[in-house]
Structure 1
Amino acid sequence: MDARERLAELVQEKGGSLAGLSRMLGRNPSYLQQYITKHSPRKLEEDDRRKLASYFGVAEAELGAPKEKSYDANQEWVDVPRLAVDASAGPGAANSAESPFDSFRFSRKWLREQGLEPGQLSAIRVVGDSMEPLLREGDDLLVDKSDRPFRDGIFVVRLDENLLVKRLTSQGGGRFSLLSQNLSYPPIAVSAEDIELVGRVVWKSGRL
């Protein structure tokens, strides 16, 4: 299987879109579609290939790298992309770009112990004070985008084009409550059709 076929297969297995991955690379939305269908570019740039291999948790050789330069999917550390978006712990923040600008490095062993898949993780920053004292403005959140059975917890959700971080609880019958830790903010009642679950918050970093 060549690199183009393997990339298309990975996208199908993991979900998402070629346009979204292209934006993650900081490229035109049609970049990867043209790479796969029109062979333009002829091969992926080394930095793009490395980011995609890290995102999917595969060896770079599967995406066309020489073996001596290949990212090893079994290596000790994993780079999780930090996205240039904010999750609002407040009234809501609109986000249009979701491009990585940096990364956090995690132990592959630790991620495995937590049941987390590297390719399903990204990190975003908190803005606002509605989740204090649990989450503070400037904290970075590790978000698991895996498709898992729902259980109450802290989630990043999209509501009316705004990205929020809230405690999400089920009220039954397809109804949910978005709860803030800061009691100055009232609960928000929503239906399943009103929100998009971006991912579950599984870790945070922040200054003392």
Structure 2
Amino acid sequence: MTEQAGEIDDVKVDTNNFDAFRERLKIAMGSDSARVFARKCRLSEGAIRSYLSGETFPTLDRLAMIASAADVGADWLAFGFSKEELKREVPQPAGMEDYAFVPLYDAQCSAGDGAWNEHSRVLTHLSFTRYSLRKKGLTPEQLSAIRIDGDSMEPVLHSGDTVLIDHTRTTIEGEGIYVLRLDDHLYAKRLQRNFDGVVIISENKQYQPVTVPRDRLNELEVIGRAVWSAGWL
């Protein structure tokens, strides 16, 4: 999967507040080591250490992942105050309160051994009504989108289509389309469990199914389940 890179959307904060953020992050981590906490967040240990050192600040989606793993408020983690205070300080634009904005990533994030989006860039944000997401049981902070490259999932998904990923669904449930990483590459494929392991299935019959045996399942990383797609007719 490839896409032209855009600019990454960093959380905008006063750099003088880095020390305060680092302290809140340490509180959120509790007694966990950077390695253990990184696994809980589905981020790389290097990313967590970078935040702890003050070298970098997490992007909005990673901030939400950290807050969710630590069971703390993302507003408190980022700024040190509650959602109510945040609303008073940074009110939402009039008429946009009913919308959630999901990051669309440059899918060149497949390389490397860190988190799936460790080296990715946010191209833009897709807007969804909060009502439509809520009806599907989806949480905006746990969603992201990427674009498909290649014809292996035709006619269901075409090259250039955008898919929405639910990062809370990393356990294979029956048969569905998942975004996965294998051998440092991202794929959108159907996954099916059987007694031998997990079968990776392409919709395009020119591509043969691939079975990841049970003793190698640790090499298969399920990023999340595809829950929506769109593309040009």
Contact 2:164 2:228 in 1 (8 A): yes
Contact 1:177 1:187 in 2 (8 A): yes
How many residue pairs get aligned? The number is 183
Partner of 1:16: 42
Contact 2:22 2:53 in 1 (8 A): no
Shift of residue 16, structure 1, vs aligned partner: 2.7
Contact 2:152 2:203 in 1 (8 A): yes
> Counterparts of 2:38 and 2:132 in 1: how far apart (Å)?
27
What TM-score do you get using the length of structure 2 for normalisation?
A: 0.64
**Aligned counterparts, 1:22-171, within 5 A:** 30=50, 32-35=51-54, 60=75, 63-64=78-79, 67=86, 68-70=88-90, 75-85=97-107, 94-96=110-112, 97-147=119-169, 149-151=171-173, 152-171=175-194
> Counterparts of 2:62 and 2:89 in 1: how far apart (Å)?
14
Q: Residue 158 of structure 1: SS of its match in structure 2?
A: strand
Partner of 2:209: 187
Contact 2:180 2:187 in 1 (8 A): yes
Query: CA RMSD, aligned part only?
Result: 3.5
Runs (5+) with no aligned partner, structure 1: 23-28, 88-93
Runs (5+) with no aligned partner, structure 2: 1-19, 30-36, 113-118
Shift of residue 17, structure 1, vs aligned partner: 3.1
Shift of residue 172, structure 1, vs aligned partner: 2.3
Query: Which gives a bigger RCO, structure 1 or 2 (Cα 8 Å, sep 6+)?
Result: 2
Counterparts in 2 of 1:150 and 1:52: CA distance versus 1, 3 Å: closer
Percent of counterpart pairs with the same letter?
31
User: 95-104 or 183-192: which moved more?
Assistant: 95-104
> Counterparts of 1:49 and 1:166 in 2: how far apart (Å)?
27
Would you tell me which structure has more strand in proportion to its own residues?
1
> Counterparts of 2:160 and 2:133 in 1: how far apart (Å)?
23
Q: Residue 143 of structure 1: SS of its match in structure 2?
A: strand
Partner of 2:11: none
Q: Residue 138 of structure 2: SS of its match in structure 1?
A: coil
What TM-score do you get using the length of structure 1 for normalisation?
A: 0.70
Shift of residue 60, structure 1, vs aligned partner: 4.0
Shift of residue 53, structure 1, vs aligned partner: 6.3
Question: Alpha-carbon deviations, 1:123-152, whole Å to 9, x = none?
Answer: 111000010010000001101111554212
> Counterparts of 1:71 and 1:188 in 2: how far apart (Å)?
50
Would you tell me which structure has more helix in proportion to its own residues?
2
